Chains A and B, each alone.
Chain A
Amino acid sequence: MYFSAQEMLAQLKGTDKRICDLVIDNEIEISEISREEIISMLEERYQIMYHSSHDALEKEITSLSGLTGGSASKMWNYYQKGSMICDATVIRGAAYALSCLEVNASMGLIVAAPTAGACGILPGSLFTVAEKYDVPHEKVLEALATASGVGQIIVKKATISGAEGGCQAECGAAASMAAAAIVEMLGGTPEQAFDAAAIAMQNIMGLVCDPVAGLVEMPCAKRNASGVANSLISADLALSGIFSEVPFDEVVEAMYKVGKALPSTLRETALGGLATTPTALAMRDKIYGTQASSSACSGDCASCGGCQ
């Protein structure tokens, strides 16, 4: 059992084990299941993540609200044209992340990682890096375990709820998890993995949760795309030998304090930030204008929108 990065690093010291080994050993103990069962559960999640990160690349998927969609395929076309400012790895990962969020917003199947609103960052950044380096499949599954371990510590020390800690708690947690997973997958040390996680969290500390019309669409999808860039640059920083002066545990505690200090209007209530801009309010009125009649309609109206 472990409650902090410090404890994990202490348990790993002097062994040749990695963070993912510790996470899997812990799971065997607390859930009373075998390593093989854990790997098969990771495989199941991998497959769903793979599909959600690819399904919106070549066809446009529109959200349940009808307000967003088509960004993933735009990014994918842009990537395929080959002319881009960032490295292709970043752009591909961003397209994957956008795809996850579009599948999510259309009531498709996703894996919350650690939440639905941040479900694109981990698969987006992990898969694009795994493809770049042709990482064996088993190592990618182990990286998912590494990511889970970082998430476990964030939940134990702070929160992953946007309503409690703002976007930094969701997209921050996801980027930290992804950055550490990538570092460990590419052979970095556990210390470097936690440095990457600490840096990723620092990079978006204070980010508020201000969803337009309260929906997991705007700006969530774009923040997942930029979350990929965050996790990749954080992994690169750590692998270059730059470390986080403030250790991961303290960064997480600081994030929690910042979250608590945020007014509730900036914590998933859609009462502040982008959500109260004139454009956002107009969108809100458009979809909730006839909310009162919701009980009268009961069909598969995902594509109807007549009552919205």
Chain B
Amino acid sequence: MNISMFDILGPIMIGPSSSHTAGAQRIGKAMYNMISDKELVSVHFMLHGSFHLTLRGHGTDRALVGGVLGMNAYDPQIKNSLQIAQEKGIDVSFEGTDLGEVHPNTVRIIAKTSDGQTVSLMGSSVGGGNIEIVEINGTPAKFSGKYPAVVINHTDRLGIISHITSILAINQVNIVTLLNSRENKGKSAMTMIETDSPIDPSVKRELESMSAVSSVVVMEKVI
């Protein structure tokens, strides 16, 4: 484990809490990256543990919404994010809930876009502004947000992971972590990959062109 000096001297952030504000913004930003260029219609936040208990006092609500709108941790507009979302006509709602055996600072974000799609992710704020994305569209995940990532929905088929990683290798994209899960043999599966360099639209198209692949979501790094 190697830690940058700027993980210690940072993040540069709008207060008051590295875990309840900066971490919340980063989880929201992960959703922003997941939605990509689609138009957001509504966003619902299911808040667990101390994320719910200290929501307003820590500005967690504003930080989450700011993140979903694409704001960075140091953006002073985070303070006004609820108003900005309202002006954009985005329906924002919060709900306190029990998400089960998860970190005390965890939120599930459910977003609807104008094309009628619903996407969700669950993230935990684990301290000092660091986060973990622990679930994407209901499937367990493990992203730190420190790297670009790609989420590929596909059919479980012999050699598919090899095919995916070959496409990345040919395009000079180095893999940091790889996580794969499936429902049943031969049924739908998901491969999640963190990479050193961003995934270009051309690489995304190449992945999408594989016959077993149903969707590809490219996520920029959050931190």
Could you say which residues of chain A place their CB within 8 Å of the CB of B58? Answer: 214-216
A156 touches B1 (CB 8 A): yes
Could you say which residues of chain B place their CB within 8 Å of the CB of A113? Answer: 8-10
Complex CA–CA separation, A221 to B24 (angstroms) = 22
Within the complex, the shortest CB–CB distance from B114 to chain A, in Å, comes to: 20
B12 touches A105 (CB 8 A): no
A64 touches B83 (CB 8 A): no
B82 touches A299 (CB 8 A): yes
**8 Å CB contact of A111 from B5, B9, B78:** B9
B12 touches A295 (CB 8 A): no
Complex CA–CA separation, A299 to B85 (angstroms) = 10
Majority DSSP secondary structure for residues of B touching A: mixed
**8 Å CB contact of B16 from A1, A44, A116:** A116
Q: With A163-B19, A164-B127 given, is the CB distance from A109 to B14 under 8 Å?
A: yes
Check if B179 is an interface residue, CB within 8 A of chain A: no
Complex CA–CA separation, A26 to B2 (angstroms) = 9
Within the complex, the shortest CB–CB distance from B149 to chain A, in Å, comes to: 19
Complex CA–CA separation, A42 to B15 (angstroms) = 19
Q: With A152-B3, A155-B7, A161-B19 given, is the CB distance from A45 to B83 under 8 Å?
A: no
Could you say which residues of chain B place their CB within 8 Å of the CB of A294? Answer: 55-56, 61, 94
Check if B28 is an interface residue, CB within 8 A of chain A: no
Could you say which residues of chain B place their CB within 8 Å of the CB of A215? Answer: 16, 54, 57-58
Interface residues of A in 277-297 (CB under 8 A from B): 287-288, 291, 294-295, 297
A302 touches B79 (CB 8 A): yes
Could you say which residues of chain A place their CB within 8 Å of the CB of B85? Answer: 298
B59 touches A107 (CB 8 A): yes
A108 touches B15 (CB 8 A): yes
Interface residues of B in 1-42 (CB under 8 A from A): 1-22
B5 touches A214 (CB 8 A): no
A298 touches B76 (CB 8 A): no
Complex CA–CA separation, A30 to B85 (angstroms) = 38
Check if B145 is an interface residue, CB within 8 A of chain A: no
Check if B126 is an interface residue, CB within 8 A of chain A: yes
Complex CA–CA separation, A106 to B14 (angstroms) = 9
Check if B140 is an interface residue, CB within 8 A of chain A: no
Check if B80 is an interface residue, CB within 8 A of chain A: yes
B8 touches A30 (CB 8 A): no
Q: With A106-B15, A151-B9, A214-B50 given, is the CB distance from A65 to B3 under 8 Å?
A: no
Complex CA–CA separation, A164 to B18 (angstroms) = 14
Count A interface residues, CB 8 Å: 67
Check if B104 is an interface residue, CB within 8 A of chain A: yes
Within the complex, the shortest CB–CB distance from A161 to chain B, in Å, comes to: 3
Could you say which residues of chain B place their CB within 8 Å of the CB of A107? Answer: 14-16, 21, 59, 62, 78-79
Could you say which residues of chain B place their CB within 8 Å of the CB of A156? Answer: 1, 3
Q: Which of B7, B74, B95 has the most chain A CB within a 10 Å cutoff?
A: B7
Within the complex, the shortest CB–CB distance from B45 to chain A, in Å, comes to: 9
**8 Å CB contact of B6 from A26, A41, A291, A307:** A41
Could you say which residues of chain B place their CB within 8 Å of the CB of A48? Answer: 12
Chain B, interface size: which category?
35 or more
Could you say which residues of chain B place their CB within 8 Å of the CB of A115? Answer: 18-19, 127-128
Could you say which residues of chain B place their CB within 8 Å of the CB of A240? Answer: none
Q: With A44-B12, A107-B78, A298-B85 given, is the CB distance from A291 to B55 under 8 Å?
A: yes
Within the complex, the shortest CB–CB distance from A96 to chain B, in Å, comes to: 16
Check if B171 is an interface residue, CB within 8 A of chain A: no
Check if A93 is an interface residue, CB within 8 A of chain B: no
Check if B86 is an interface residue, CB within 8 A of chain A: yes
Q: With A163-B104, A269-B104 given, is the CB distance from A298 to B82 under 8 Å?
A: yes
Check if A203 is an interface residue, CB within 8 A of chain B: no
**A118 to chain B: closest residue by CB:** B18
Within the complex, the shortest CB–CB distance from A162 to chain B, in Å, comes to: 8
**B61 to chain A: closest residue by CB:** A294
Check if B148 is an interface residue, CB within 8 A of chain A: no
Check if B160 is an interface residue, CB within 8 A of chain A: no
**8 Å CB contact of A110 from B2, B5, B15, B19:** B15
Could you say which residues of chain B place their CB within 8 Å of the CB of A41? Answer: 6
Within the complex, the shortest CB–CB distance from B115 to chain A, in Å, comes to: 25
Which A-B residue pairs are the 9 nearest by beta carbons?
A: A104-B15, A161-B127, A151-B8, A148-B5, A298-B82, A214-B54, A116-B18, A216-B16, A148-B8
Of the A-B pairs whose beta carbons lie under 8 Å apart in the complex, a sample of 25, sorted by A's number, is A27-B4, A30-B2, A31-B4, A31-B6, A42-B9, A45-B10, A104-B15, A108-B15, A109-B12, A110-B13, A111-B12, A112-B9, A112-B11, A113-B9, A115-B18, A147-B9, A148-B5, A148-B9, A177-B8, A214-B57, A268-B50, A288-B53, A288-B56, A300-B82, A308-B57
